[in-house]
Structure 1
């Protein structure tokens, strides 16, 4: 009986991982939102957020989890952000240290700015967990649109992220 339960658990886990690994989300094209939020940490995320604002698909960009030692001028230089865009449309958040605190930091910013829709830009393998954390943290009624940055994750990255997704779902009391 215990062996069958364990075998069933392993099968469900393995098929869940396989489903996660083969169904990574894709970039979003053309949909406008009030703002775009980018949690730091993955290649291409910030560039994609800047591109979204530059194309007029969002009015403002919030980058969450920026290292406290990074000054706005350094950020602008590193990511080739024009000064006019930095002045009007880019806010750097320095408080977050992980995905859950990215969501909390972004929620506060969205509430202060009274935005109704937001584009979440993060790496494809990170999107499921990030969207879950953001959905639980953002103020009621804010529409979240997912815009994944394509990557080529290795098996270890996918395995770690899948386990983090399961742990986050359990801690939030959500079905996986």
Structure 2
């Protein structure tokens, strides 16, 4: 009986991991407009994609969550080629988050302060499911989230670790119910 249970659990884990690896989230359509774009720091291409969304007029505001407190707006603008006017009107650097869960908290607070009803979440493909899940637990139900995954070429170790973080995140979410 115990062996069958362990075998069943292992099979469920293996099928889940295979699904996680094979069906990584994809980029969103460029025709979709939202009130804001949210970019948690940490992965290559995320900030560039968030700025591209802003430049194309697909969102009016951008929150970059989890920026190191040492980074000042002028430094950010210089590094990413952002015009001072765009930096002043449209881009917020969030300095409170240190991980995916606190990115969600920082984002939910910013969304409430800025009366955002729809947002585009930009993060790396392998990170999208966990980030979106954490965000869904923090945002009010009336906020629409469009997932815009930045394609990457993660190694097996990254995928293995992220899959387990996703499982832990979902278990924590169930425990919060």
Structure 2 gaps, min length 5: none
Give runs of aligned pairs for residues 99-114 of structure 1, distance below 5 A.
99-114=100-115
Aligned length: 174
Q: Which moved more, 1:33-42 or 1:76-85?
A: 76-85
| C-alpha RMSD of matched pairs (Å) | 0.9
Partner of 2:131: 130
TM-score by length of 1: 0.97
Q: Tell me, what secondary structure is at the counterpart of 1:173?
A: helix
Partner of 1:87: 88
Once the two structures are TM-superposed, the CA of residue 79 in structure 1 deviates from its matched residue by 1.0
Structure 1 Cα separation of the partners of residues 133 and 9 of structure 2: 23
Partner of 1:34: 35
> Which deviations, in whole Å up to 9, do the C-alpha atoms of 1:144-164 show, x marking residues without a partner?
000000000000000000000
TM-score by length of 2: 0.96
Once the two structures are TM-superposed, the CA of residue 96 in structure 1 deviates from its matched residue by 0.2
Q: Tell me, what secondary structure is at the counterpart of 2:122?
A: strand
Structure 2 Cα separation of the partners of residues 140 and 17 of structure 1: 29
Q: Tell me, what secondary structure is at the counterpart of 2:95?
A: coil
Partner of 1:3: 3
Structure 2 Cα separation of the partners of residues 53 and 95 of structure 1: 22
Matched, 1:115 2:120: no
Matched, 1:75 2:76: yes
